[in-house]
Amino acid sequence: MIGGKTKLLALIGDPVGHSLSPAMHNASFAADGLDFVYVALKVGADDLPVAVRGAAALGLRGFNVTMPHKRAMVPLVDSLDEGARISGAVNTVVIEDGKLRGFNTDGPGMIEACGEAGVGLAGRGVVLLGAGGAAASIAGAFCDEGIGELHIVNRNPEHAGALADKLHEAGKKVEIEVHPTGALDGTVRAPIVVNATPLGMSDDDPLPLPLEYLDGKTALVDAVYRPGRETALVRQARERGATVVTGQRMLLYQGVLAQRLWTGRRPNVEVMDRALS
């Protein structure tokens, strides 16, 4: 039961009505008997700075950040973890003693999802589609897992090059090559393909890469999440025998990691998973 000692958590974004994060986190709190509650708060872009100050003033333990505020959160926190610095995006905030610490759990969450699916990363090549915040967080985490080489493919090669520079500046020792999307003609290949573009969020979206990249020797990692359904890319990958890691699994595990930051303990993953399903 919610009372005067209940610790408050939130999701901040616009829109937030579709989000399953409240159900996921509150199910875990109830299962473990933790006195926390998680709510979704619609916050417009112009109101973000005052909302963040208000969260700290009201004594929230922390909050998640979703679109379109992940990048705008960066200058509003007191410190950033490496994932947030590399990606230029914050998806989790912890509030302690009035200070706001910003994290990005997308990349580490995808590592957990890959491990669950049996997709090993050490020493293997990766084709990464996209160079935005999600792509950067995943790239940094994959580099930390010891991948052999990283091919960043983006329609704007300058953005891909900027991401490669960030990774090198952060001390990542992986061999990195940058390619335009036209390189997806079979020239650039690797056993692991990651879609970190927005393609797949809409029914009308084209596939982000040719079908010949999807086969039984490939692991397809799709960061796109669509509530209640799989993306066309995931469906095609399954049909062609590829190992698949879906955006839903990344959503689950980034939430697991966020909750651990707030509570100091590993949450009830099974209950969180059922809430998402």
Q: Do 126 and 192 touch, CB atoms closer than 8 A?
A: yes
Q: What CA–CA distance (Å, rounded) separates 93 from 61?
A: 9
Query: Is residue 277 part of an annotated ligand binding site?
Result: no
Query: Is residue 197 part of an annotated ligand binding site?
Result: no
Q: Do 253 and 109 touch, CB atoms closer than 8 A?
A: yes
Query: Is residue 91 part of an annotated ligand binding site?
Result: yes
Query: Is residue 213 part of an annotated ligand binding site?
Result: no
Q: What CA–CA distance (Å, rounded) separates 259 from 263?
A: 6
Preceding peptide of 15 cis, ω within 30°: yes
Query: Is residue 3 part of an annotated ligand binding site?
Result: no
Q: What CA–CA distance (Å, rounded) separates 184 from 18?
A: 34
Query: Is residue 115 part of an annotated ligand binding site?
Result: no
Using the Cα atoms of residue 160, residue 161, residue 167 and residue 173 in order, give the sign of their dihedral. Answer: positive
Preceding peptide of 75 cis, ω within 30°: no
Query: Is residue 79 part of an annotated ligand binding site?
Result: no
Residue 229 corresponds to which tokens in the numbers above? 């359904």
Query: Is residue 87 part of an annotated ligand binding site?
Result: no
Specify the amino acid at residue 157: P
Query: Is residue 134 part of an annotated ligand binding site?
Result: yes
Query: Is residue 66 part of an annotated ligand binding site?
Result: yes
Q: Which candidate in 70, 99, 166, 217 is catalytic?
A: 70
Query: Is residue 106 part of an annotated ligand binding site?
Result: yes
Does 5 participate in catalysis according to the annotation?
no
Strand 99-103 and strand 149-153: the pairing is unpaired
Q: What CA–CA distance (Å, rounded) separates 72 from 197?
A: 19
150: β partners? 126, 176
Strand 175-179 and strand 99-103: the pairing is unpaired
**Catalytic residue set:** 70
Residues of each annotated binding site for NADP(+): 82, 130-134, 223, 247
Residues of each annotated binding site: 19-21, 66, 82, 91, 106, 130-134, 223, 225, 247, 254
Residues of each annotated binding site for shikimate: 19-21, 66, 91, 106, 225, 254
